[in-house]
Amino acid sequence: MPRWSKIALKVFGIFIGLVVLVFIGLAWYVSAHKKELLNTITAQLNGSIAGEITIGSMDPTFLSGFPGVSMRLNNVIVRDSLFQQHKHSLLEAKDIEVSVNALKLVTGTIQIKKMGINNATIYLYTDSSGYSNTAIFKKKSAV
Protein backbone atom coordinates (compact mmCIF):
# COMPACT_ATOMS: atom_id res chain seq x y z
CA MET A 1 0.00 0.00 0.00
CA PRO A 2 1.48 3.39 -0.97
CA ARG A 3 2.47 5.77 1.78
CA TRP A 4 0.02 8.49 0.71
CA SER A 5 -2.94 6.12 1.02
CA LYS A 6 -1.87 5.11 4.55
CA ILE A 7 -1.69 8.77 5.54
CA ALA A 8 -5.05 9.48 3.92
CA LEU A 9 -6.65 6.55 5.77
CA LYS A 10 -5.20 7.73 9.09
CA VAL A 11 -6.44 11.29 8.54
CA PHE A 12 -9.87 9.98 7.55
CA GLY A 13 -9.97 7.68 10.60
CA ILE A 14 -9.00 10.53 12.93
CA PHE A 15 -11.66 12.76 11.36
CA ILE A 16 -14.35 10.09 11.80
CA GLY A 17 -13.17 9.52 15.39
CA LEU A 18 -13.47 13.24 16.16
CA VAL A 19 -16.95 13.40 14.64
CA VAL A 20 -18.03 10.42 16.77
CA LEU A 21 -16.55 12.04 19.91
CA VAL A 22 -18.35 15.33 19.22
CA PHE A 23 -21.59 13.44 18.61
CA ILE A 24 -21.18 11.51 21.88
CA GLY A 25 -20.49 14.80 23.67
CA LEU A 26 -23.66 16.33 22.26
CA ALA A 27 -25.62 13.23 23.24
CA TRP A 28 -24.33 13.55 26.80
CA TYR A 29 -25.14 17.27 26.88
CA VAL A 30 -28.73 16.70 25.74
CA SER A 31 -29.22 13.87 28.24
CA ALA A 32 -27.71 15.86 31.11
CA HIS A 33 -29.66 19.06 30.37
CA LYS A 34 -32.96 17.52 29.24
CA LYS A 35 -35.20 19.61 31.52
CA GLU A 36 -33.46 22.91 30.65
CA LEU A 37 -33.66 22.15 26.92
CA LEU A 38 -37.35 21.24 27.22
CA ASN A 39 -38.08 24.53 29.00
CA THR A 40 -36.11 26.50 26.38
CA ILE A 41 -37.81 24.76 23.45
CA THR A 42 -41.23 25.31 25.03
CA ALA A 43 -40.49 29.00 25.67
CA GLN A 44 -39.17 29.51 22.13
CA LEU A 45 -42.23 27.87 20.59
CA ASN A 46 -44.65 29.73 22.89
CA GLY A 47 -42.96 33.03 22.08
CA SER A 48 -43.75 32.72 18.39
CA ILE A 49 -47.48 31.93 18.65
CA ALA A 50 -50.61 33.54 20.10
CA GLY A 51 -51.42 30.65 22.39
CA GLU A 52 -49.76 27.95 24.42
CA ILE A 53 -47.83 24.78 23.68
CA THR A 54 -47.66 22.16 26.42
CA ILE A 55 -45.03 19.41 26.18
CA GLY A 56 -45.31 16.35 28.43
CA SER A 57 -41.75 15.05 28.13
CA MET A 58 -38.71 14.90 25.88
CA ASP A 59 -36.57 11.97 24.72
CA PRO A 60 -33.33 12.39 22.77
CA THR A 61 -33.29 10.55 19.42
CA PHE A 62 -29.71 10.92 18.30
CA LEU A 63 -29.44 8.76 15.21
CA SER A 64 -32.57 9.98 13.44
CA GLY A 65 -31.28 13.53 13.06
CA PHE A 66 -27.59 12.92 12.43
CA PRO A 67 -25.52 15.14 12.11
CA GLY A 68 -27.86 17.43 14.05
CA VAL A 69 -29.37 16.70 17.43
CA SER A 70 -32.92 15.37 17.41
CA MET A 71 -35.44 15.11 20.19
CA ARG A 72 -38.85 13.51 20.46
CA LEU A 73 -41.38 15.69 22.27
CA ASN A 74 -44.11 13.52 23.80
CA ASN A 75 -47.73 14.43 24.54
CA VAL A 76 -47.74 17.83 22.86
CA ILE A 77 -50.85 20.01 23.03
CA VAL A 78 -51.25 23.26 21.08
CA ARG A 79 -54.04 25.60 22.21
CA ASP A 80 -54.96 29.09 21.12
CA SER A 81 -55.44 32.02 23.50
CA LEU A 82 -59.24 31.58 23.63
CA PHE A 83 -59.16 27.87 24.51
CA GLN A 84 -60.95 28.50 27.83
CA GLN A 85 -63.98 29.77 25.89
CA HIS A 86 -64.35 27.16 23.15
CA LYS A 87 -62.45 24.15 24.66
CA HIS A 88 -61.00 22.93 21.33
CA SER A 89 -57.26 22.20 21.15
CA LEU A 90 -55.76 22.89 17.74
CA LEU A 91 -53.28 19.99 17.95
CA GLU A 92 -52.84 17.00 20.21
CA ALA A 93 -49.83 14.91 19.19
CA LYS A 94 -48.40 11.78 20.80
CA ASP A 95 -44.95 12.74 19.57
CA ILE A 96 -43.22 15.45 17.59
CA GLU A 97 -39.67 14.99 16.35
CA VAL A 98 -37.59 18.16 16.45
CA SER A 99 -34.14 18.53 14.90
CA VAL A 100 -31.98 21.37 16.20
CA ASN A 101 -28.72 22.90 15.00
CA ALA A 102 -25.95 21.12 16.93
CA LEU A 103 -23.43 23.98 16.73
CA LYS A 104 -25.92 26.55 18.03
CA LEU A 105 -26.90 24.14 20.82
CA VAL A 106 -23.34 24.15 22.15
CA THR A 107 -23.46 27.96 22.40
CA GLY A 108 -26.73 27.79 24.33
CA THR A 109 -29.02 28.85 21.49
CA ILE A 110 -31.70 26.51 20.17
CA GLN A 111 -32.37 26.83 16.45
CA ILE A 112 -35.09 24.45 15.27
CA LYS A 113 -34.23 23.08 11.82
CA LYS A 114 -37.00 20.54 11.23
CA MET A 115 -40.20 19.31 12.87
CA GLY A 116 -42.14 16.12 12.18
CA ILE A 117 -45.57 15.51 13.72
CA ASN A 118 -46.62 11.89 14.38
CA ASN A 119 -49.80 10.32 15.78
CA ALA A 120 -51.67 13.60 15.96
CA THR A 121 -55.20 14.95 15.97
CA ILE A 122 -55.85 18.37 14.48
CA TYR A 123 -59.11 20.16 15.27
CA LEU A 124 -59.78 23.23 13.13
CA TYR A 125 -62.44 25.28 14.88
CA THR A 126 -64.32 28.33 13.65
CA ASP A 127 -67.09 29.94 15.71
CA SER A 128 -70.13 31.89 14.49
CA SER A 129 -68.26 35.22 14.64
CA GLY A 130 -65.57 33.90 12.28
CA TYR A 131 -62.86 33.40 14.91
CA SER A 132 -60.69 30.37 14.20
CA ASN A 133 -58.27 28.56 16.48
CA THR A 134 -55.74 28.84 13.63
CA ALA A 135 -55.34 32.48 14.73
CA ILE A 136 -52.67 31.05 17.03
CA PHE A 137 -50.21 31.42 14.14
CA LYS A 138 -50.75 35.17 13.74
CA LYS A 139 -47.95 37.32 15.08
CA LYS A 140 -48.39 38.54 18.64
CA SER A 141 -49.15 42.25 18.67
CA ALA A 142 -46.64 44.44 20.49
CA VAL A 143 -48.44 46.37 23.23
pLDDT at position 140 is: 59
Q: What is d(CA 122, CA 127) in angstroms, rounded to the nearest whole number?
A: 16
pLDDT at position 143 is: 45
Is the residue at 104 inside a domain?
A: yes
Is the residue at 143 inside a domain?
A: no
Beta strands (DSSP E) in the chain are 51-60, 69-80, 91-100, 112-122
Angle at 47 between CA 72 and CA 143, to 5 degrees: 170
pLDDT at position 78 is: 92
pLDDT at position 15 is: 94
Q: What is the pTM of this model?
A: 0.70
What is the count of structural domains for the chain?
1
Enclosing domain of residue 114: 3-137
pLDDT at position 68 is: 67
Is the residue at 99 inside a domain?
A: yes
Spell out, as residue ranges, where the chain has pLDDT lower than 50: 143
Is the residue at 142 inside a domain?
A: no
Is the residue at 38 inside a domain?
A: yes
pLDDT at position 66 is: 66
The number of residues making up the chain comes to 143
